[in-house]
């Protein structure tokens, strides 16, 4: 009889735990790819469930769209460029979201052209056609990098294009240069037969744009109503990122379970590029994942506000909060 009561108590406890799970709709900024495998791994490995969360992960269509989804309440949390969040929050003060966990400590933003174009530096872009989807983070930040190097962004004609045409239009010569994430544009150009040595790369970080990149963001209402859920989500993702770095092939297998059409070899390369360039920076190796340097973010906000001629320059605390970060010891990604 005692064993029966114990079993019933255990079942009741499990039922109560499941009933208390917090539902989170989470949007990516783009497709299911290697660099976002930590979110899928947190789900597949049960880290979200252990944290009392029921998480649904959907692909996105750019950072701007991801921010819109979160800010309007359609999704509680998402993954998006923190710099795009600056512009959105200024334009939509009543729907502002906040970044709560930095993932890309270094930005993947850049410009890419073929060496035969003769373009070597951003200063050479005057009169040249720059192409990208309008929601592309590098595309949206181009006025800031133009201002930094001393050219008028209006002197660089910009061509909006659908994502599937991005690299193809450069290869065909329909635009002179494209913008995009390094780990996407470089691999996509190579998939179209362009050799790496025939590509000129201009990463924004090399031209005074010391910005962060993508972060986990959360709706302000969700932060207010479910602060502990935000904290537990960040803990699960950080734990998953540590696992991904140590188990990269298995991480890509998890991505392939979600999207069987991916090229696993290409996504493994994309994951390696993102980890080496954007995620596991020297600073993150030293102090761990997730936090930002306030002075660095403040400088980025100022540059974005000036170049984009925003109505105001938001404060760091309007864009970012460190209130939901895991303890420092749990944010270390490598021993």
Task: Give the tens place of pLDDT for each residue, 168-205.
Answer: 999 999 999 999 999 999 999 999 999 999 999 999 99
Give the pLDDT band (50/70/90) at residue 271. very high
Q: Give the model's pLDDT for residue 3.
A: 43
Beta-bridge partners for 23: 54
**What angle do helix axes 264-274 and 182-191 make, rounded to 10 degrees?**
150
Give the pLDDT band (50/70/90) at residue 44. very high
pLDDT at residue 236 greater than cutoff 50: yes
Domain at 2-105+212-331: CATH code: 3.40.190.10
Q: Give the model's pLDDT for residue 14.
A: 46
Report the range out of 13-27, 31-45, 303-317 with the highest average pLDDT. 31-45
Q: Give the model's pLDDT for residue 5.
A: 40
* pTM of the entire predicted model: 0.90
Domain at 109-207: CATH code: 3.40.190.10
Structural contact between residues 141 and 209, judged by C-beta atoms closer than 8 angstroms: yes
Neighbours of 200 (CB within 10 A): 17
Q: Give the model's pLDDT for residue 309.
A: 87
Average pLDDT, the chain: 92
Q: Give the model's pLDDT for residue 13.
A: 39
Q: Give the model's pLDDT for residue 164.
A: 83
Hey, which bits of 1-64 come out as E strands? 22-27, 53-58
pLDDT at residue 212 greater than cutoff 90: yes
Task: Give the tens place of pLDDT for each residue, 103-146.
Answer: 999 999 999 999 999 999 999 999 999 999 888 889 989 999 99
The first and second tokens of residue 232, run together, are 């537990």
Q: Give the model's pLDDT for residue 161.
A: 92
Q: Give the model's pLDDT for residue 293.
A: 97
Average pLDDT over residues 27-39: 97
Q: Which residues make up the CATH 3.40.190.10 domain(s) of the chain? A: 2-105+212-331, 109-207
| Buried-exposed string 259-275: b where 16+ CB fall within 10 A, e elsewhere | eeebeeebbbbbbebbb
Give the pLDDT band (50/70/90) at residue 15. very low
């Amino acid at each position: 009889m005692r064993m029966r009561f114990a079993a019933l108590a255990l079942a009741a406890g499990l039922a109560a735990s499941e009933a208390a799970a917090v539902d989170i709709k989470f949007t990516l900024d783009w497709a299911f790819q290697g660099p976002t495998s930590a979110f899928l791994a947190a789900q597949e490995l049960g880290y979200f469930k252990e944290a009392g969360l029921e998480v649904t992960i959907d692909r996105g269509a750019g950072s701007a769209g991801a921010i819109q989804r979160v800010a309007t309440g359609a999704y509680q949390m998402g993954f998006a460029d923190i710099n795009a969040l600056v512009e959105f929050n200024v334009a939509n003060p009543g729907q502002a979201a906040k970044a709560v966990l930095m993932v890309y400590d270094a930005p993947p933003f850049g410009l890419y052209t073929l060496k035969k174009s003769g373009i070597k530096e951003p200063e050479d872009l005057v009169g040249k056609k720059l192409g990208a989807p309008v929601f592309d983070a590098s595309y949206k930040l181009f006025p800031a990098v133009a201002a930094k190097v001393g050219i008028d962004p209006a002197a660089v004609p910009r061509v909006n294009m659908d994502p599937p045409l991005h690299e193809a239009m450069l290869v065909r010569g329909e635009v002179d240069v494209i913008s995009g994430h390094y780990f996407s544009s470089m691999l996509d150009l190579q998939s179209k037969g362009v050799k790496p040595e025939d590509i000129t790369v201009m990463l924004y970080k090399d031209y005074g744009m010391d910005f962060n990149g993508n972060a986990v963001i959360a709706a302000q209402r969700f932060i207010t109503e479910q602060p502990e859920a935000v904290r537990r989500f960040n803990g699960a993702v950080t734990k998953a990122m540590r696992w991904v770095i140590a188990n990269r092939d298995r991480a890509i297998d998890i991505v392939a379970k979600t999207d069987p059409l991916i090229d696993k070899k290409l996504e493994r390369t994309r994951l390696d590029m993102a980890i080496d360039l954007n995620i596991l920076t020297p600073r993150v190796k030293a102090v761990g994942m997730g936090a930002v340097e306030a002075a660095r973010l403040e400088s980025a906000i100022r540059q974005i506000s000036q170049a984009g001629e925003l109505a105001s320059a938001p404060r760091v605390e309007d864009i970012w909060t460190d209130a939901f970060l895991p303890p420092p010891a749990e944010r270390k990604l490598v021993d």
